């Protein structure tokens, strides 16, 4: 069986750096931090009081107010990103559009936590009589976002959700890629969304000592690879990628951003939250992605790393990169865009895939901002693109995401051959 080629024909993004792909990319290239004091709720009693929030978002621009109230913010975010990507791609408006051959795979790590929290609080305040919103369950469940996107456009192809913590939306991209590659769909809308800047999420991550507590300087709190990094900064938002079979895209005259060459998946099988100390799962997932793409390590020019700004995570990932790429590791352009967006949890993979695709298209490596002090754990020969974007020829880019539970996923994008 001949495998199909897969290309990117549409992008969408709703992020702490801006509510569209151009705004997001402009923020990345200019090294803008999306972190600031939390406005969603009173965080004054929490150990961490800042986050990377989406700002100036109005679901009323694309949803009836009544319909918007039936959706958790994570679904609203997802639909917004998908609308931008589908409009960009024009995949549903061309003359040969077949809704049975276009599907959606959408991801979230947590989903409708805001909805669950609100309903639980309302019940606790009552006398024990069950009075729940009839949309409680449909607002909360993770797969509902893919449902909303497919309903909006009448897409009757494969439709489901992927959940693997912070690797969730990279798994969505990998699944969509495989379906098109095997000829089971002409195009797929894949991505992820998250809206978890709320009391239970902040409190839970604080209890794990996972979050930065640099409340005196939120804008510089996310410090991947810096000696004084002290945890990740929680973020929110969404990103969507339209993946399409190459010949299908060419036949309709689609704009093509990049080609998706392959993806990898693996498990640490080590610990529920801590990475393997030698980066074994990360090593395997990158090797698997390279094998799937039929590429050599030297074919990769840029890695958008998971790089969350945690003391152990950053080290284990760089160890894995060293093992996979050998001496070529020092020729790689490496950056963590989480230094600007924060960690979007289940949406991280999708937003970092968009960053990688745009890096390939524009031959620009977005920076790792907030670097102040070198960490002697890292060989100084690594190019972490500290503090300023760099113009580099990027023929192929790899993006990593790793999730609690030991879930690992990578994707590879490059210039169309």
Euclidean distance between CA atoms 301 and 385, whole angstroms: 13
Q: What is the CATH number of the domain that holds 282?
A: 3.40.47.10
Query: Last residue of some domain: 199, 229, 251?
Result: 251
Residues 241 and 327 in one domain: no
The mean pLDDT value for 162-187 works out to 98
For the segment 327-347, what is each residue's pLDDT rounded down to a tens digit?
Answer: 999 999 999 999 999 999 999
CA torsion angle 293 294 299 303 (round to 10): 30
- Residue 147 falls inside a structural domain: yes
Instruction: Return the ∠ at Cα 138 (arms to 136 and 139), rounded to 5°.
Output: 65
- Residue 259 falls inside a structural domain: no
Residues 275 and 393 in one domain: yes
Residues 274 and 244 in one domain: no
Residues 278 and 369 in one domain: yes
**Cβ neighbours of residue 204 under 8 Å, at least 6 residues apart?**
none
**390 has which bridge partners?**
365
C-alpha distance from residue 10 to each of 247, 358, 365 (Å): 16, 11, 20
Query: Last residue of some domain: 251, 276, 293?
Result: 251
Residues 106 and 234 in one domain: yes
Q: What is the pTM of this model?
A: 0.97
- Residue 40 falls inside a structural domain: yes
Residues 185 and 270 in one domain: no
- Residue 374 falls inside a structural domain: yes
Residues 232 and 315 in one domain: no
Residues 24 and 130 in one domain: yes
| Tokens 């469940």 found at | 141
Euclidean distance between CA atoms 227 and 93, whole angstroms: 50
Query: Last residue of some domain: 229, 251, 273?
Result: 251
Domain residues for the domain of 130 are 6-251
Euclidean distance between CA atoms 128 and 316, whole angstroms: 48
Residues 236 and 383 in one domain: no
- Residue 257 falls inside a structural domain: no
The pLDDT score that the predictor gives to residue 176 is 99
Euclidean distance between CA atoms 124 and 414, whole angstroms: 52
Residues 99 and 60 in one domain: yes
**401 has which bridge partners?**
409
The mean pLDDT value for 52-64 works out to 97
pLDDT at residue 289 tops 90: yes
For the segment 66-84, what is each residue's pLDDT rounded down to a tens digit?
Answer: 999 999 999 999 999 999 9
Residues 13 and 118 in one domain: yes
How many domains, in total, are found in the chain? 2
- Residue 256 falls inside a structural domain: no
Token pair for residue 264?
């990898």
- Residue 128 falls inside a structural domain: yes
pLDDT confidence tier of residue 255, bands split at 50, 70 and 90: very high
Token pair for residue 328?
């070529």
pLDDT confidence tier of residue 238, bands split at 50, 70 and 90: very high
- Residue 98 falls inside a structural domain: yes
Residues 206 and 231 in one domain: yes
The backbone torsions φ and ψ at residue 295, rounded to the nearest 5 degrees and listed phi first, read: -120, 160
| Tokens 């973020």 found at | 235
The pLDDT score that the predictor gives to residue 125 is 93
The 3 state secondary structure assigned to the chain is: CCCCCEEEEEEEEEECCECCHHHHHHHHHCCCCCCEECCCCCCCCCCCCEEECCCCCCHHHCCCHHHHCCCCHHHHHHHHHHHHHHHHHCCCCCCCCCHHHEEEEEECCCCCHHHHHHHHHHHHHCCCCCCCCCCHHHHHCCCHHHHHHHHHHCCCCCEEEECECECHHHHHHHHHHHHHHCCCCCEEEEEEEECCCCHHHHHHHHHCCCECCCCCCHHHCCCCCECCCCCECEECEEEEEEEEEHHHHHHCCCCCCEEEEEEEEEECCCCCCCCCCCCHHHHHHHHHHHHHHCCCHHHCCEEECCCCCCHHHHHHHHHHHHHHHHHHHHCCEEECCHHHHCECHHHHHHHHHHHHHHHHHHCEECCECCCCCECCCCCCCCECCECCCEECCCCEEEEEEEECCCEEEEEEEECCC
| Tokens 């999420």 found at | 201
For the segment 102-130, what is each residue's pLDDT rounded down to a tens digit?
Answer: 999 999 999 999 999 999 999 999 999 99
The pLDDT score that the predictor gives to residue 151 is 98
Neighbour-count burial for 102-111, b at 16+ CB within 10 Å, e otherwise: bbbbbbbbbb
The pLDDT score that the predictor gives to residue 95 is 87
CB 348 within 8 A of CB 236: no
**Cβ neighbours of residue 356 under 8 Å, at least 6 residues apart?**
302, 304, 397, 398, 399, 411, 413
For the segment 133-150, what is each residue's pLDDT rounded down to a tens digit?
Answer: 999 999 999 999 999 999
Catalytic residues: 166, 306, 343
The pLDDT score that the predictor gives to residue 417 is 86
């Amino acid at each position: 069986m001949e495998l199909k080629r897969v290309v990117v024909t549409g992008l969408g993004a709703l992020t702490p750096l801006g509510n569209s792909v151009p705004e997001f990319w402009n923020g990345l290239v200019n090294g803008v931090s999306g972190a600031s004091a939390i406005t969603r709720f009173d965080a004054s009693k929490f150990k961490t009081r800042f986050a990377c929030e989406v700002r100036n978002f109005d679901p009323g621009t694309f949803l009836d107010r009544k319909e918007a109230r039936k959706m958790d913010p994570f679904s609203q975010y997802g639909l917004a990103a998908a609308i931008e990507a589908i409009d960009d791609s024009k995949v549903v408006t061309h003359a040969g559009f077949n809704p049975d051959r276009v599907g959606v795979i959408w991801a979230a790590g947590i989903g409708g936590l805001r909805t669950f929290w609100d309903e639980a609080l309302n019940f606790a305040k009552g006398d024990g009589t069950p009075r729940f919103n009839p949309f409680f369950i449909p607002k909360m469940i993770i797969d509902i976002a893919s449902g909303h996107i497919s309903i909006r456009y009448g897409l009757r192809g494969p439709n489901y959700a992927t959940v693997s913590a912070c690797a969730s939306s990279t798994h969505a991209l990998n699944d969509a890629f495989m379906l098109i590659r095997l000829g089971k769909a002409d195009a797929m809308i894949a991505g992820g969304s998250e809206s978890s800047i709320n009391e239970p999420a902040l409190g839970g991550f604080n209890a794990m000592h996972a979050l930065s507590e640099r409340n005196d300087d939120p804008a510089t709190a996310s410090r991947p690879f810096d000696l004084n990094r002290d945890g990740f900064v929680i973020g929110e938002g969404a990103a969507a990628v339209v993946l399409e079979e190459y010949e299908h895209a060419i036949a309709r005259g689609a704009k093509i951003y990049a080609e998706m060459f392959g993806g990898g998946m693996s498990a640490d099988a080590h610990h529920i939250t801590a990475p393997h100390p030698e980066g074994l799962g990360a090593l395997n997932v990158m090797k698997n992605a390279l094998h799937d793409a039929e590429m050599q390590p030297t074919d990769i020019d840029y890695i958008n790393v998971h790089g969350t700004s945690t003391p152990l995570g950053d080290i284990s990932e760089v160890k894995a990169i060293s093992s996979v790429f050998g001496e070529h590791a020092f020729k790689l352009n490496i950056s963590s865009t989480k230094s600007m967006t924060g960690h979007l949890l289940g949406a991280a993979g999708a937003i970092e895939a968009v960053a990688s695709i745009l890096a390939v298209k524009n031959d620009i490596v977005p920076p790792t901002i907030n670097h102040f002090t070198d960490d002697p754990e890292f060989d100084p020969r690594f190019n972490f693109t500290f503090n300023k974007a760099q113009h580099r020829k990027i023929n192929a880019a790899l993006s990593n995401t790793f999730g609690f539970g030991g879930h690992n996923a990578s994707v590879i994008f490059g210039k169309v051959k």
